[in-house]
Amino acid sequence: MLTRLSSPGHEDLYRVEDRESGLRGYIALHSTRLGPAAGGLRMRVYEGDDAAIEDVLNLSRGMSYKNAAAGLPLGGGKAVIMGDPGHDKTPPLLRAMGRAIDSLGGRYWTAEDMGMSPDDMAEIARETRFVAGRDQGMHASGDPSPVTARGVMGAMQAGAMRVWGKADLAGRRVAVQGLGHVGWHLCLMLHEAGARLIVADMDAARVASTVKEFGAEPVATGAIHAAEADIFAPCAIGGVLNARSIPEIRAALICGAANNQLATPEAAELLEAHGILYLPDYVANGGGIINVAAEILQIADRDGWVADRLSAMQANMAHILTRAAAEGVSPAVIADRMVEEQLLAQAV
Output the pLDDT for position 53: 97
Strands 277-278 and 2-5: unpaired
The closest of 170, 116, 121 to 141, measured between CA atoms, is 121
pLDDT, mean of residues 74-93: 96
pLDDT, mean of residues 184-206: 97
- Residue-wise DSSP of 84-111: -TTTT--HHHHHHHHHHHHTTTTSEEB-
Of the candidates 66, 78, 89, 166, the residue annotated as catalytic is 78
CA distance 318 to 331: 10
- Please report the sign of the dihedral spanned by the C-alpha atoms of residue 158, residue 322, residue 163, residue 262: negative
- Residue-wise DSSP of 271-312: HHHTT-EEPPHHHHTTHHHHHHHHHHTT-SSHHHHHHHHHHH
Output the pLDDT for position 344: 79
Has residue 288 got a pLDDT over 70?
Answer: yes
Q: Tens digits of per-residue pLDDT, 210-265?
A: 999 999 999 999 999 999 999 999 999 889 999 999 999 999 999 999 988 999 99
Output the pLDDT for position 286: 93
Confidence of residue 118 (pLDDT cuts 50, 70, 90): confident
Nearest 5°: the CA angle 168, 173, 179 is 105
Residue 8, burial from CB neighbour count under 10 angstroms (0-12, 13-18, 19+): exposed
CA distance 208 to 225: 19
E-strand stretches of the chain: 2-5, 12-18, 23-31, 37-38, 41-44, 75-82, 108-109, 173-177, 196-200, 217-218, 231-234, 253-254, 277-278
Has residue 141 got a pLDDT over 80?
Answer: no
CB under 8 Å to 244, separation ≥6 — which residues? none
Average pLDDT, the chain: 94
Catalytic residue check, 89: no
Q: Tens digits of per-residue pLDDT, 17-70?
A: 999 999 999 999 999 999 999 999 999 999 999 999 999 999 999 999 999 999
Has residue 101 got a pLDDT over 80?
Answer: yes
CA distance 317 to 161: 11
pLDDT, mean of residues 122-139: 84
Model pTM score: 0.88
